[in-house]
Amino acid sequence: MERMSLLDATFLYVEDDATPMHIGGAAVFEGPPPTHDELVSRFEAKLHRVPRYRQKVRFLPLDVGRPGWVDDPHFNIDYHVRRTALPAPGGREELQNLVGRVMSQHLDRARPLWEVWAVEGLDDGRWALVSKVHHCLVDGVSSIDLMSVLFDSESDSPRLEAVPWRPRPEPSAVELFAQSLAGALSPVELVPRVLAALRSPTATLRHGIEAVRAFGSVASKLLPPPVTSLNGPHGPHRRWASAHASLADVKLVRASLGGTVNDVVLAAITGGFRDLLISRGERVEGRPVRTLVPVSVRAEHERGTYNNRVSPVFADLPVGLSDPVARLANIRAQMDGIKESKGAVAGERLVDLAGFSPPMLLAAAQRLATLIPQQTVNTGTTNVPGPQHPMYFAGRRLIESTPIVPLLASVRIVVGIFSYDGHLYFGITGEYDTVPDIDVLRRGIEAAMAELLAAARAAPVGVNGAGGAAPKPTGSAGGRDGRPPAQRRESREEDSNADASGGES
């Protein structure tokens, strides 16, 4: 049995009846949809390259050790690859409703923790794949590697045959008991790391100083942000919506106004949350929306591994600023400060320190944490880069791909962003009962991106470029004036000839 990493196990520990911890995506393809046999054979031919998809979770008695992965002797591909259809007219609303229902249902822990739904009946003859994978199996960054296994870069890729597979026997009760004892003595696992630290005292001291600095930068973000309707208890049901932006437009804003692609994305999301809170009658002046931003800390040599290697950083979205350029400048300054203080290191050090706790105590603490209101952040935002060229599944071209991310404890709305083939797709997950206005956020993100694009086109050339200093935050002149979002333009002009130069960062 292969034991889980500490972080992977945590995603199981924090899951409860109202907080399923699976991620996924909604991928829309050109038609016609594949037959069931074509769909299933496609997955069977690829599964040998992702062996975790044939494995299930095995827990140790009394949680005295971290759970592990074992082959499922009863694996059945037809249980995991499913088929459904949308009611007419098969548009955005119908697909969003289906995704919300699918993602509200927990995965069966007695089986491999994934499902894929082939969805027929989309307008214009299109079809979709809605995927659902537990977060303990894969994180957002490495899931892109798994997607590349299932999808092809060419439309005429040859059909592959399934590779024979035989499950390995599950560990016996005696073997599990032995692993339980080893897990209860988990600090022993740290002996090699202690010896390595003694062999390299200078590097150890440098890492320690780095960690202290990082903790200091994170500590200020652990105080509760202003109370808003974005936090509170939630039930098991979900809503989901999607927004879209051109990556060329985002890069044009980046080149003209400064910052990184991620800064521009966060600025657009800030505008969306500003609209949402104003539409709810809540005050936004001087009241930021704090977001958790997971950052991958997986080393280059760890690419392709399954274990999660992510660390959290925190950013305060300046929803009180009506000027879109000022919002971007504010976010740019924050993210630059995080980079300088190495704030992402703090989360990784915390994960390492948690390894000193016996797994049984860690499991109890994580489960207890789900019962305590979490007011440290108002939302979560994760940005994952994808391939910038067309991908295909069974010869059908992938048109768009939008992420689906789980809610955090006491956080009612989260946003995932995925870039693919020159576009950015925003997947917004909301709690069903308390976020009936999820489309206000969706429209607000697109409107905010349109405002940033207009400001970038109007900016003097070479004044606020990516190589220059970040513009200072200003007041509300020239920006949005706080009117209800329905009174402002909800769409933006597509600019297929926008300058897309400059690397994404």
Residues annotated as part of the active site: 135
CA-based nearest residue to 212, from 309, 341, 354, 352? 341
CA distances from 163 to 45, 112, 147, 245, 305 (A): 6, 19, 19, 40, 21
Which residues have CB under 8 Å from 277's CB, separation 6+? Answer: 228, 229, 230, 283, 284, 289, 319
Query: Is the bond leading into 294 cis (omega within 30 degrees of zero)?
Result: no
- Written as six digits, the tokens of 407 are 């809610």
> ∠290-262-229 over CA atoms, to 5°?
25
- Written as six digits, the tokens of 272 are 């969306």
CA-based nearest residue to 139, from 245, 3, 5? 5
Query: Is the bond leading into 387 cis (omega within 30 degrees of zero)?
Result: no
Determine the longest span between alpha carbons in the chain, in angstroms: 73
Q: Assign residue 83 a region (left: φ > 0; alpha: ψ between -120 and 50; beta: otherwise).
A: beta
- Torsion angle in degrees (nearest 10) through CA of 80, 412, 318, 405: -10
- Residues 187 and 336: their CA atoms lie apart, in Å, by 36
Q: Helix or strand or coil: residue 500?
A: coil
